[in-house]
């Protein structure tokens, strides 16, 4: 049975992991006959957003503790990740990917990637194992790997950031999956497009199916 490491960035689209993308990716993994283990960095998130008003709240939250909400408590600190124990690493989107796992939300092409995230991706790449990224997450995959083909859909600003760090962007639409077979990187846009939850399922499910198909070849 193939095992996915699902890396979460908190809980909630504006300051953590996008819940639909994370949950539907996990559902797709199980329906494909594979399994998953969730991870998140044990750190304070950049800030806390009121998801009703969009305003910053005067409180602090921990990324791992918040991500445990999505994982129903079955989650490990990212520092415990061991690439040899997994077949795939998968990153859902959400602003947490660009605020907690990296700084691209604030610094654009000059953004940096959390060292634990970079180490996990590099370890999987070195072992020639698939790397999957949804929504905004392909931005930091591009930063880590450099010359790689990824997609975030059609957002011109984000495309410029991806190309500025040396990667190639391919425009995609709802449910489409881009596979860079040479680098074993699989990406899909999901909520980077004007999408609804059915589009997210199409993207997440298509992504997992493409990865499972890769293992057959």
Residues identified as active-site? 135
Task: With CA atoms as reference, report the closest residue to 95 among 173, 154, 9.
Answer: 9
CB 149 within 8 A of CB 167: yes
* 130/124 Cα distance (integer angstroms): 7
Angle, helices 156-164 vs 138-145, to 10°: value is: 20
How many other CB atoms sit within 10 Å of the CB of residue 113? 18
Query: Between vectors from CA 41 to CA 37 and to CA 118, what angle results, nearest 5°?
Result: 90
The residue whose two tokens read 């199980």 is 30
């Amino acid at each position: 049975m193939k095992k996915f490491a699902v890396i979460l960035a908190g809980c909630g689209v504006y300051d953590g992991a996008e819940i639909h993308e994370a949950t539907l990716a996990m559902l797709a993994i199980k329906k494909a006959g594979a399994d998953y283990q969730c991870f998140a960095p044990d750190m304070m998130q950049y800030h806390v957003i009121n998801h009703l008003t969009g305003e910053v709240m005067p409180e602090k939250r921990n990324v791992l503790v918040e991500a445990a909400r999505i994982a129903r408590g079955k989650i490990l600190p990212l520092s415990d990740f061991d690439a040899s124990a997994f077949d795939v690493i998968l990153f859902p989107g959400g602003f947490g990917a660009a605020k907690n796992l990296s700084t691209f939300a604030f610094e654009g092409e000059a953004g940096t990637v959390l060292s634990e995230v970079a180490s996990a991706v590099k370890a999987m790449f070195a072992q020639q194992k698939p790397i999957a990224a949804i929504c905004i997450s392909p931005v930091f995959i591009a930063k880590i790997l450099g010359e790689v083909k990824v997609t975030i859909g059609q957002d011109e600003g984000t495309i410029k950031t991806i190309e500025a760090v040396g990667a190639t962007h391919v425009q995609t639409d709802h449910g489409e999956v881009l596979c860079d077979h040479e680098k074993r990187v699989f990406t899909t846009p999901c909520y980077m497009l004007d999408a609804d939850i059915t589009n997210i399922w199409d993207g997440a499910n298509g992504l997992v199916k493409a990865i499972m198909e890769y293992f057959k070849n």
